[in-house]
Chain A
Amino acid sequence: GAVVSQHPSRVICKSGTSVKIECRSLDFQATTMFWYRQFPKQSLMLMATSNEGSKATYEQGVEKDKFLINHASLTLSTLTVTSAHPEDSSFYICSARDIGAVNQPQHFGDGTRLSIL
Chain B
Amino acid sequence: QKEVEQDPGPLSVPEGAIVSLNCTYSNSAFQYFMWYRQYSRKGPELLMYTYSSGNKEDGRFTAQVDKSSKYISLFIRDSQPSDSATYLCAMGQGGGNKLTFGTGTQLKVEL
Chain A residues with a Cβ under 8 A of chain B: 4, 6, 32, 34, 41-44, 46, 49, 91, 93, 95, 97, 101-111, 113
- Nearest residue (CB) in A for B4 is A43
Contact with A along B40-61 (1 / 0, CB 8 A): 0111111001010000000000
Are the CB atoms of A6 and B43 closer together than 8 Å? yes
Compute how far the CA of A65 lies from the CA of B64 in the bound complex, rounded to whole angstroms: 42
Of the residues B43, B96, B98, contact of A46 by C-beta under 8 Å: B98
* Known contacts A46-B99, A49-B97, A97-B96; A103/B51 CB under 8 A: yes
- A105-B34 in contact (CB<8A): yes
Listed from nearest, the 4 A-B pairs whose CB atoms lie closest are: A108-B43, A110-B43, A43-B101, A43-B103
- Beyond the given pairs A4-B43, A41-B106, A46-B99, 13 more chain A to chain B contacts, judged by CB atoms under 8 angstroms and listed by A's residue number, are A32-B97, A41-B8, A43-B88, A43-B101, A43-B104, A49-B98, A95-B43, A103-B96, A105-B49, A108-B36, A108-B44, A108-B45, A110-B42
